């Protein structure tokens, strides 16, 4: 179903955690989803709050389902809050429209999954996600 491999997902998670450490961020949680929005890998760093999976997954899931990264979703939410509220209804409450959800595209431009990072300020979460993706050959779309 997906060209995204577990090895690639692990690379993203580890590199996102390294970035978080370099930046001195709070403990992070990272979810990597395939092109169908299904979980491939997730890790939550020690000390993070227990609900972090839902948030990380929601950032990535909304990105895949809507074909739109978290930063783009936030712009839409700022402009038309009821639309993003409706999207949450459609997708069972699993859309978290803030930075930290990043689409993954292959070099042909095809969406092959998404990453969701949570734990610090949204912009920092996004920086960690982008650092993670930069260690793969994939294109990140925030």
Quick one: how far is CA 129 from the chain centroid? Answer: 7
Site for its own copies in 51-70 (CB under 8 A): 51, 53-55, 57-58, 64-68
Residue linked to tokens 């969406």 = 111
Least spacing, CB of residue 109 vs its own copies, in Å = 10
Least spacing, CB of residue 35 vs its own copies, in Å = 3
User: Helix, strand, coil shares of the chain as percentages rounded to 5?
Assistant: 45, 20, 35
Binding mask 77-116 toward its own copies (x if CB under 8 A, else -) reads: xx-xxxxxxxxxxxxxxxxxxx-----------xxx----
Q: Say whether 106 sits in a helix, a strand or coil.
A: coil
Q: For its own copies, give the closer residue by CB, 64 or 117.
A: 64
Q: Does 121 bind its own copies (CB under 8 A)?
A: no
In angstroms, rounded to a whole number, what is the distance separating the alpha carbons of residues 142 and 99? Answer: 7
Half-sphere exposure of 59 (CA within 13 A, CB side): 31
Residues at the site binding its own copies, with contacts judged by CB under 8 A: 1-2, 5-6, 9-10, 34-46, 48-51, 53-55, 57-58, 64-68, 77-78, 80-98, 110-112
């Amino acid at each position: 179903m997906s060209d995204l491999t577990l090895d690639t997902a692990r690379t993203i998670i580890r590199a996102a955690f390294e970035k978080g450490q370099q930046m001195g961020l709070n403990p992070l949680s990272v979810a990597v989803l395939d092109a169908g929005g299904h979980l491939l890998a997730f890790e939550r760093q020690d000390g993070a709050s227990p609900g972090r999976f839902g948030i990380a997954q929601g950032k990535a899931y909304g990105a895949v389902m809507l074909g739109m990264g978290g930063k783009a979703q936030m712009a839409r939410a700022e402009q038309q809050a009821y639309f993003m509220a409706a999207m949450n209804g459609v997708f069972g409450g699993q859309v978290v429209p803030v930075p930290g959800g990043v689409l993954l595209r292959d070099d042909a431009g095809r969406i092959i999954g998404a990453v969701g990072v949570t734990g610090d300020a949204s912009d920092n979460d996004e920086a960690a996600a982008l650092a993670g993706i930069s260690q793969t050959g994939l294109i990140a779309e925030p």
